[in-house]
Structure 1
Amino acid sequence: MAILRAVETESGVMVENAYARIDTISGSKNQIAITLNYYLSQSHYTDGKSYVHQEVYSYEPEVEGESDNFIKQGYEHIKSLSGFSKAIDA
Protein backbone atom coordinates (compact mmCIF):
# COMPACT_ATOMS: atom_id res chain seq x y z
CA MET A 1 0.00 0.00 0.00
CA ALA A 2 1.20 3.50 -0.80
CA ILE A 3 -0.05 6.87 -1.99
CA LEU A 4 0.93 9.26 -4.75
CA ARG A 5 1.27 12.89 -3.81
CA ALA A 6 3.17 16.01 -4.83
CA VAL A 7 5.88 16.93 -2.34
CA GLU A 8 8.61 19.52 -2.09
CA THR A 9 11.90 18.05 -0.89
CA GLU A 10 14.05 19.81 1.67
CA SER A 11 16.33 20.96 -1.15
CA GLY A 12 13.37 22.72 -2.77
CA VAL A 13 12.75 20.30 -5.62
CA MET A 14 9.07 19.65 -6.34
CA VAL A 15 8.25 16.01 -7.07
CA GLU A 16 4.84 15.48 -8.67
CA ASN A 17 3.25 12.10 -7.98
CA ALA A 18 5.93 11.04 -5.52
CA TYR A 19 5.49 7.46 -4.31
CA ALA A 20 4.93 7.74 -0.56
CA ARG A 21 4.80 4.74 1.74
CA ILE A 22 4.91 4.00 5.44
CA ASP A 23 8.33 2.47 5.95
CA THR A 24 8.46 2.31 9.75
CA ILE A 25 5.89 2.02 12.48
CA SER A 26 6.30 1.91 16.25
CA GLY A 27 4.31 2.55 19.36
CA SER A 28 1.70 1.08 21.64
CA LYS A 29 -2.07 0.72 21.88
CA ASN A 30 -2.20 4.38 22.94
CA GLN A 31 -0.04 6.03 20.27
CA ILE A 32 1.50 4.89 16.97
CA ALA A 33 4.31 6.77 15.21
CA ILE A 34 4.69 6.25 11.47
CA THR A 35 7.41 7.37 9.09
CA LEU A 36 6.22 8.26 5.61
CA ASN A 37 9.04 8.10 3.07
CA TYR A 38 8.72 9.61 -0.40
CA TYR A 39 10.43 8.12 -3.44
CA LEU A 40 10.66 9.51 -6.97
CA SER A 41 8.53 6.59 -8.16
CA GLN A 42 7.46 3.09 -7.21
CA SER A 43 10.25 1.68 -9.36
CA HIS A 44 12.80 3.78 -7.48
CA TYR A 45 11.52 2.21 -4.27
CA THR A 46 11.57 -1.35 -5.62
CA ASP A 47 15.05 -0.79 -7.08
CA GLY A 48 16.32 0.12 -3.60
CA LYS A 49 16.93 3.81 -4.27
CA SER A 50 16.92 6.24 -1.35
CA TYR A 51 13.86 8.22 -0.39
CA VAL A 52 13.84 11.93 -1.29
CA HIS A 53 11.72 13.21 1.60
CA GLN A 54 10.54 11.96 4.98
CA GLU A 55 7.70 12.93 7.32
CA VAL A 56 6.69 11.56 10.73
CA TYR A 57 3.10 11.38 11.96
CA SER A 58 1.32 9.86 14.94
CA TYR A 59 -2.18 8.70 15.68
CA GLU A 60 -4.18 6.86 18.30
CA PRO A 61 -4.94 3.39 16.90
CA GLU A 62 -8.17 1.46 17.03
CA VAL A 63 -7.50 -1.77 18.91
CA GLU A 64 -10.99 -3.17 19.34
CA GLY A 65 -12.22 -6.39 17.72
CA GLU A 66 -12.16 -6.25 13.94
CA SER A 67 -9.97 -3.13 13.62
CA ASP A 68 -7.75 -2.74 10.56
CA ASN A 69 -4.03 -3.37 11.04
CA PHE A 70 -1.87 -0.47 12.23
CA ILE A 71 -0.37 0.20 8.80
CA LYS A 72 -3.77 0.49 7.09
CA GLN A 73 -4.95 2.71 9.96
CA GLY A 74 -1.81 4.83 9.41
CA TYR A 75 -2.66 5.40 5.75
CA GLU A 76 -6.25 6.26 6.65
CA HIS A 77 -4.99 8.77 9.22
CA ILE A 78 -2.56 10.35 6.75
CA LYS A 79 -5.23 10.64 4.05
CA SER A 80 -7.52 12.39 6.54
CA LEU A 81 -5.02 15.26 6.98
CA SER A 82 -5.69 18.48 5.06
CA GLY A 83 -2.47 18.39 3.03
CA PHE A 84 -3.38 14.98 1.65
CA SER A 85 -6.76 15.76 0.07
CA LYS A 86 -5.32 15.22 -3.45
CA ALA A 87 -3.34 12.07 -2.57
CA ILE A 88 -4.36 8.93 -4.39
CA ASP A 89 -3.84 5.27 -3.53
CA ALA A 90 -1.01 3.61 -5.38
Structure 2
Amino acid sequence: MPMTTFEKIYSLFSIFFVLGLAAALALNPELRQLKPMLILASTGFFINIGYMFVVLRNIMCKSNFRQKDKFFWIALILIIWPASIIYLILYGFQKNITS
Protein backbone atom coordinates (compact mmCIF):
# COMPACT_ATOMS: atom_id res chain seq x y z
CA MET A 1 0.00 0.00 0.00
CA PRO A 2 1.60 3.31 -1.04
CA MET A 3 1.79 6.30 1.28
CA THR A 4 -1.30 8.47 1.31
CA THR A 5 -1.09 12.19 0.68
CA PHE A 6 -1.61 12.85 4.39
CA GLU A 7 1.28 10.54 5.30
CA LYS A 8 3.57 12.26 2.80
CA ILE A 9 2.65 15.71 4.14
CA TYR A 10 3.05 14.53 7.75
CA SER A 11 6.46 13.04 6.96
CA LEU A 12 7.67 16.25 5.38
CA PHE A 13 6.24 18.30 8.27
CA SER A 14 8.04 16.20 10.87
CA ILE A 15 11.36 16.37 9.00
CA PHE A 16 11.09 20.15 8.65
CA PHE A 17 10.08 20.43 12.32
CA VAL A 18 13.24 18.63 13.42
CA LEU A 19 15.43 20.69 11.10
CA GLY A 20 13.74 23.90 12.21
CA LEU A 21 14.09 22.95 15.87
CA ALA A 22 17.80 22.23 15.43
CA ALA A 23 18.30 25.56 13.65
CA ALA A 24 16.30 27.45 16.29
CA LEU A 25 18.31 25.90 19.11
CA ALA A 26 21.57 26.71 17.34
CA LEU A 27 20.63 30.32 16.60
CA ASN A 28 18.62 31.27 19.73
CA PRO A 29 20.50 30.64 22.99
CA GLU A 30 17.42 31.67 25.04
CA LEU A 31 15.62 28.54 23.79
CA ARG A 32 18.24 26.41 25.54
CA GLN A 33 16.63 27.10 28.92
CA LEU A 34 14.82 24.21 30.60
CA LYS A 35 11.18 25.28 30.16
CA PRO A 36 11.21 26.14 26.40
CA MET A 37 13.48 23.17 25.71
CA LEU A 38 11.13 20.81 27.52
CA ILE A 39 8.11 22.04 25.56
CA LEU A 40 9.90 21.88 22.19
CA ALA A 41 11.47 18.50 22.88
CA SER A 42 8.15 17.01 24.02
CA THR A 43 6.38 18.31 20.94
CA GLY A 44 9.14 16.93 18.70
CA PHE A 45 9.00 13.59 20.50
CA PHE A 46 5.29 13.11 19.83
CA ILE A 47 5.58 14.31 16.24
CA ASN A 48 8.39 11.84 15.60
CA ILE A 49 6.52 8.92 17.15
CA GLY A 50 3.88 9.45 14.48
CA TYR A 51 6.58 9.88 11.85
CA MET A 52 8.28 6.62 12.79
CA PHE A 53 4.91 4.83 12.72
CA VAL A 54 4.23 6.13 9.20
CA VAL A 55 7.69 5.20 7.88
CA LEU A 56 7.88 1.77 9.52
CA ARG A 57 4.34 0.91 8.39
CA ASN A 58 5.28 1.94 4.87
CA ILE A 59 8.30 -0.38 4.94
CA MET A 60 6.24 -3.33 6.18
CA CYS A 61 3.53 -2.73 3.53
CA LYS A 62 5.98 -2.76 0.60
CA SER A 63 5.21 -5.94 -1.31
CA ASN A 64 8.16 -5.57 -3.68
CA PHE A 65 10.71 -5.71 -0.81
CA ARG A 66 12.22 -8.99 0.30
CA GLN A 67 11.96 -9.72 4.02
CA LYS A 68 15.71 -9.14 4.33
CA ASP A 69 15.38 -5.67 2.78
CA LYS A 70 12.55 -4.76 5.13
CA PHE A 71 14.57 -5.74 8.20
CA PHE A 72 17.62 -3.90 6.86
CA TRP A 73 15.71 -0.63 6.44
CA ILE A 74 13.94 -0.99 9.79
CA ALA A 75 17.21 -1.63 11.63
CA LEU A 76 18.98 1.19 9.81
CA ILE A 77 16.19 3.69 10.55
CA LEU A 78 15.95 2.70 14.21
CA ILE A 79 19.72 3.02 14.66
CA ILE A 80 20.33 6.09 12.47
CA TRP A 81 17.32 8.43 12.23
CA PRO A 82 18.46 10.37 9.09
CA ALA A 83 18.33 7.09 7.16
CA SER A 84 14.55 7.53 7.17
CA ILE A 85 14.95 10.61 4.99
CA ILE A 86 17.01 8.60 2.51
CA TYR A 87 14.40 5.82 2.58
CA LEU A 88 11.58 8.28 1.87
CA ILE A 89 13.45 9.79 -1.06
CA LEU A 90 14.35 6.41 -2.57
CA TYR A 91 11.24 4.36 -1.84
CA GLY A 92 8.70 6.01 0.46
CA PHE A 93 7.25 8.65 -1.83
CA GLN A 94 7.06 6.27 -4.80
CA LYS A 95 4.15 4.06 -5.74
CA ASN A 96 4.16 0.46 -4.58
CA ILE A 97 4.88 -1.58 -7.71
CA THR A 98 4.58 -5.35 -7.42
CA SER A 99 7.25 -7.31 -9.20
Query: What range is the shorter-chain TM-score in?
Result: under 0.3
Q: TM-score, normalised by structure 1?
A: 0.26
The structure with more strand, counted as a fraction of residues: 1
The structure with more helix, counted as a fraction of residues: 2
Bigger RCO (CA 8 Å, 6+ sep): 2
Which protein shows a greater Rg? 2
